[in-house]
Amino acid sequence: MTGPADSPETRLAELGIPLPDPLPAFGEYTPAVRTGDQLWVGGHFGTQADGSIVAGRVGDTLDVEAAAAAARSAAFNALATIRAELGTLDAVDRIVHLHGAVHCTPEFTGQTAVIDAASRVFVEVFGDRGRHARLAVGVAALPAGLALEIELVLTVRPGTFAAPDGGDR
């Protein structure tokens, strides 16, 4: 188990960051799947303060700053899903991989600058355990005109949490 100085939950509190409610599934899938010591977190997107999705195309209707804010929000939405699945962010051993897809014009080449905002959230919250391998790509379209989506693979500390249904995992 992590100590207080190493606790992602403590870091969030120190940063004054409340997590939103987890996003529901918007199709025939589940937001996260645990297999062994891995948690696969499906596509998460940015939301506004009122809960509406951040839509648009970077290089057209959105600039890099707005897209980076959406990526940061997507990371917080993913953290909310992780907490809901594991019971606590302290159960995360390491963020292993982040895949970021940015809805952008063909000329836009700043996908890394956009997805860096999500990557920074995971380092802020998990420290070195939040540093991950990553792919940041541009795409012609995303569902509902989303500005971007991120997905994650992470490892879970064995025996450190209770399942949401109250049973041990």
pLDDT for the residue 129: 97
Tokens of 126: 């998990």
Per-residue b/e over 94-123, b at no fewer than 16 CB within 10 Å?
A: bbbebbbbbbbeeebebbebbbbbbbebbe
pLDDT at 82: 98
Q: What is the pLDDT at residue 159?
A: 76
93: which 2 tokens?
């051993």
Query: What would the pLDDT profile of 42-86 be if each residue is shown by its tens digit?
Result: 999 999 989 999 999 999 999 999 999 999 999 999 999 999 999
pLDDT of residue 169: 43
pLDDT value, residue 160: 64
Enumerate the β-bridge partners of residue 155.
Answer: 38, 94
Q: What is the pLDDT of residue 123?
A: 97
Q: Give the mean model confidence (pLDDT) for residues 23-32.
A: 89
According to DSSP, the β-strands at 92-103 and 148-156 are antiparallel
b/e per residue 57-86 (b: at least 16 CB within 10 A): bbbeebebebbbbbbbbbbbbbbbbbbebb
Share of the chain above pLDDT 70, in %: 91
Task: Tell me which of 2-11, 29-38, 110-119 is least confident.
Answer: 2-11
What pLDDT score does 65 carry?
A: 97
pLDDT at 26: 83
Q: φ, ψ for residue 164 (rounded to 5)? A: -55, -25
pTM for the model: 0.91
The tokens for 141 are 């379209």
> So what's the pLDDT on residue 1?
44
- pLDDT for res 164: 55
Q: What is the mean pLDDT of residues 135-158?
A: 97
What domains does the chain contain, in order, with CATH numbers? 4-156 (3.30.1330.40)
Q: Look at strands 38-44 and 148-156 and give their pairing.
A: antiparallel
Residue ranges with strand state E in the chain: 32-35, 38-44, 92-103, 133-139, 148-156
The one-character DSSP state at 37 is: T
What pLDDT does 24 receive?
86
